[in-house]
Structure 1
Amino acid sequence: MKLNYKIQGKGQPIILLHGLFGNLDNLSILARAFMDDYQIIQVDLRNHGLSPWSDEMNYSLMADDILQLVDALALNDIILVGHSMGGKVAMRLTECISSSIANLIVLDIAPVSYASDSHTNVFKALNTCIASGITDRNAIQNMMNQYLSVPTTQFLLKSYKNEGWLFNFKAIEQHYEEIRGWQEIPPYRQPVLFIRGSKSNYMRDEYQTDILAQFPYATVETVEGANHNVHYEKPQHVINLIRDWITS
């Protein structure tokens, strides 16, 4: 699949991969921080943003989409940064292009399967809005706030443009078991940086065994006071961690 992407800057490539229900703008804080020294490639994953929609969605396919982009742009010596679902795509890429990866940074996600109710309220909110047929942004916001926190509603509305959603909700809902799930991969025997928020449930201490089984040279850094969107809540801390990691 030919994905939508945006390139800024020159130098060693950094590919930024967003999370579920997001788009390539979600990691713009990181893009702006590194674009003076690196070539920044922000990508809309399949069924998100301006990339094509598909009835199929799993991590093998999403990794293959990125592999096609890497080949098309003739990229090498790549720094991969992925948040949440994008972090799982980045981890899956270690099976495909390990020799082309210079650094891997995973933001607040572990190589594990998560509980099936992780996004229950998000699905309820979106199903209610879509079924209502309402297109007014303010009305949708009020309706979603009945199910979700204000920050979560604001995040989702970043993908509401021209009276429509930029993500393929039907495909996401249909393949949610695969998206929340994970198939264990062979050990990737290179250093990997995991950055987690201290308030997040996505990188629990008990996942350390799973992380080290697949990424035996992993380093886990905790950002105090941050939740799942660690790069958004504590941007300078995350930027400093990434910069120190890729320049050491």
Structure 2
Amino acid sequence: MGAGKPLIIVHGLFGSADNWFSIARELEKNFTLYLVDQRNHGDSPHTADWTYADMAEDLRELMSDEGISTANFMGHSMGGKTVMTLALKHPGLVDKLIVADIAPRFYPIHHQRILEGLNAIPVNDLKSRKEAEDILAQYIQTPGIRQFLLKSLGRGDNGGFKWKVNLPVITEKIANVGEAMDANAHFDKPTLFMGGENSDYILETDKKDIEQLFPSSHLIYIKNAGHWLHAEQPAAVIETVRSFLNKT
């Protein structure tokens, strides 16, 4: 959607392209927006291969298919690591980089409870979305998180339910999501790390790694926002993104 320099936006774990639709609507006057479903998410193909190298190559293939020579990129959480991987491996493809609430370091597995809840839902025998939410509520107390996760519960061709996410592969390979970026690589072009003020994903101790891998970067925090900063403070995110990308 939109017109102008390409901006490719990449969602996080258990998410999909439509997580960023309202943000994109506000940016389409200035940029051509490409909202991506990463592999094993949304409407994109399911595959047993699921690493940041794989997902970065998916973006490179997308650019080739769309005839895009260079683009700006923004990624949230897992998507942030995908766009970091692309920038570090193929810096010539990336003009400016925005990383939303994730650092380049290793993160230990911390999604076990979510995976337990999703795997407890008998998707093939499910009668209603309400049944799925009732089961998930036994594992996830926050209604907003449950609603976000259940966006990945779609309808199959036979009228029943199916997961849009590749739940078996994500469950098996969840450790891949915490993988650190290549410490021997670097991306010298303008980079913005945008953290949530109330989130613990980007810590003070992460600044050294960020500056080493992304020497032309700066870090800001969005006030009154947690990890889902684009959902909690959309106006601030939109203004921050627009200002950064328009800066010469």
Instruction: Classify the TM-score, shorter chain.
Output: over 0.9
State the Cα RMSD in Å: 1.5
| Structure 1 partner of 2:116 | 124
Secondary structure in 1 matching 2:121: helix
Give the number of aligned pairs. Answer: 240
2:11 matched to 1:13?
no
Secondary structure in 1 matching 2:201: coil
Secondary structure in 1 matching 2:225: coil
Secondary structure in 1 matching 2:96: strand
Secondary structure in 1 matching 2:72: strand
Give the Cα–Cα distance (whole angstroms) in 1 for the partners of residues 10 and 44 of structure 2.
13
Q: Say if 1:218 and 1:176 are closer, same or farther in 2 by CA, change over 3 A.
A: same
2:220 matched to 1:227?
no
- C-alpha contact 1:223 1:237 (8 A) present in aligned 2: yes
Unmatched 5+ stretches in structure 2: 156-160
Secondary structure in 2 matching 1:39: strand
Deviations 1:169-213 (A, max 9, x none): 111111111112224250111221011111112112211122112
In structure 2, give the amino acid aligned to 1:50: D
In structure 1, give the amino acid aligned to 2:137: N
Deviations 1:57-95 (A, max 9, x none): 000010001101111111133110101111100000113
Give the Cα–Cα distance (whole angstroms) in 2 for the partners of residues 24 and 174 of structure 1.
23
| Structure 2 partner of 1:157 | 150
2:82 matched to 1:92?
no
Unmatched 5+ stretches in structure 1: 1-7
Give the Cα–Cα distance (whole angstroms) in 2 for the partners of residues 34 and 131 of structure 1.
37
Percent identity of paired positions between Structure 1 and Structure 2:
32
In structure 2, give the amino acid aligned to 1:92: T
Q: Tell me the CA shift for residue 133 of structure 1.
A: 4.0
Give the Cα–Cα distance (whole angstroms) in 2 for the partners of residues 133 and 85 of structure 1.
30
| Structure 2 partner of 1:188 | 187
Give the Cα–Cα distance (whole angstroms) in 2 for the partners of residues 95 and 218 of structure 1.
13
2:77 matched to 1:79?
no
Give the Cα–Cα distance (whole angstroms) in 2 for the partners of residues 72 and 112 of structure 1.
31
| Structure 2 partner of 1:110 | 103
Secondary structure in 2 matching 1:94: helix
How do 1:40-55 and structure 2 match up within 5 A? Answer: 40-55=33-48
- C-alpha contact 2:81 2:181 (8 A) present in aligned 1: no
| Structure 1 partner of 2:167 | 169
- C-alpha contact 2:75 2:83 (8 A) present in aligned 1: yes
- C-alpha contact 1:80 1:90 (8 A) present in aligned 2: yes
In structure 2, give the amino acid aligned to 1:216: P
Q: Say if 1:183 and 1:37 are closer, same or farther in 2 by CA, change over 3 A.
A: closer
Give the Cα–Cα distance (whole angstroms) in 2 for the partners of residues 49 and 157 of structure 1.
12
Give the Cα–Cα distance (whole angstroms) in 2 for the partners of residues 114 and 233 of structure 1.
23
Secondary structure in 1 matching 2:9: strand
| Structure 2 partner of 1:27 | 20
| Structure 1 partner of 2:128 | 136
Aligned equivalent of 1:178, options 149, 157, 176:
176
Give the Cα–Cα distance (whole angstroms) in 2 for the partners of residues 199 and 28 of structure 1.
23
- C-alpha contact 2:124 2:162 (8 A) present in aligned 1: no
Deviations 1:122-175 (A, max 9, x none): 011112114894342001111112211111101111111112211001111111
| Structure 1 partner of 2:158 | none
Query: TM-score scaled to structure 2, two decimals?
Result: 0.92
2:143 matched to 1:145?
no
Q: Tell me the CA shift for residue 224 of structure 1.
A: 1.6
